[in-house]
Amino acid sequence: MSQVDAGAGEAAAAAPTAGPGAGRAPSPLWTFGFLRSELVTTFRRWRTLALLGVLAAVPVLVGIAVRIETRDGSSAGGGGGGEGPAFIAQITNNGLFLVFTALAATLPFFLPMAIGVVAGDAVAGEANAGTLRYLLVAPAGRTRLLLTKYATTMAFCLVATLVVAVSALAVGALLFPLGDLTTISGTRISFAEGLARALLIALVVAASLIGVAALGLFVSTLTNSGIAAMATTVGLLITVQILDQIPQLHALQPYFFSHYWLSFADLMRDPVYWDDLVKNLGLQALYAVVFGSAAWARFTTKDITA
């Protein structure tokens, strides 16, 4: 909790204290300073660094496992349709495929779990530490404070995804050859184009976490316990993932935020299939609007006395 206290102190130091001008709307410069303070506080926490470390370790473990299996003369996997871990079949031929495999391996659980931890603690952690009311003393207003928390969570989404991608690219370059690669459609593209598609895939994966971030932020406004908010968010994530695998619920599954997550594989087709990608991004935007609005409605009417 001392880290939360320190974060609140930094945010308060970056903002003018209440006074004769406290009723005025905050300037853009103040807003930027508050956001910067939130970003610095979030990424300095040991918990955040530990989450990023775990995410960076996943591509290392996958790469070493494939390398050992190849050294033993075993096949790294069968050919495949390119959905998710089917990319693993191509890693031994081109290390760039480790990026796609690592993102597919972390997206169903590790990445959203990390986002759920950060989002769930965004408001509830401050309330639990007793620092939330001090943040509201500054002329930010509840709406701007909530937007700042959500922007910080989205920044973590992007950083976490890039950590996985960069770690996978480094490990793939060290353990496997790099060069031109074959798309799922069977066409050959240059390494530069493959690298560009890898970056685009990472951005799509980060955007796929928008819904989880909004859901976690909403849950965070419902309780004063950061641990309860984090556990609830992760629990909802696991529940939705399980429901998405039950055939009897096929009519509802297209509305689950995780249903189109692996559609990023379509960016490795030639030409690219956009249908599921557009559905995924649209669904994430819908979740962001619905749960973002619910979080705003809850937070702006919440009685904050501690």
Every domain of the chain and the residues it spans: 2-11+28-301
C-alpha 226/C-alpha 234 separation (Å) is 12
Residues 18-45: tens digit of each pLDDT: 333 334 455 554 567 778 888 898 899 9
Question: Above 90 in pLDDT, residue 281?
Answer: yes
Span 160-189, mean pLDDT? Answer: 91
Computed over every residue of the chain, the mean pLDDT equals 82
**What confidence tier does 136 reach under pLDDT thresholds 50, 70, 90?**
low
Considering the chain, what percentage of its residues have pLDDT values greater than 90? 48
pLDDT of residue 22: 39
3-state secondary structure the chain: CHHHHHHHHHHHHCCCCCCCCCCCCCCHHHHHHHHHHHHHHHHHCHHHHHHHHHHHHHHHHHHHHHHHHHHCCCCCCCCCCCCHHHHHHHCCCCCCHHHHHHHHHHCCCHHHHHHHHHHHHHHHHHHHHCCHHHHHHCCCHHHHHHHHHHHHHHHHHHHHHHHHHHHHHHHHHHHCCCCCEECCCCCEECHHHHHHHHHHHHHHHHHCCHHHHHHHHHHHCCCCCHHHHHHHHHHHHHHHHHHCCCHHHCCCHHHCCCCCHHHHHHHHCCCCCCHHHHHHHHHHHHHHHHHHHHHHHHHHHCCCCC
* Residue 177 preceded by cis peptide, ω within 30: no
More confident residue, 62 or 141: 62
More confident residue, 89 or 253: 253
pLDDT of residue 98: 92
Question: Above 80 in pLDDT, residue 89?
Answer: no
Span 129-152, mean pLDDT? Answer: 77
Span 281-288, mean pLDDT? Answer: 96
pLDDT of residue 1: 44
**What confidence tier does 304 reach under pLDDT thresholds 50, 70, 90?**
low
**What confidence tier does 2 reach under pLDDT thresholds 50, 70, 90?**
very low
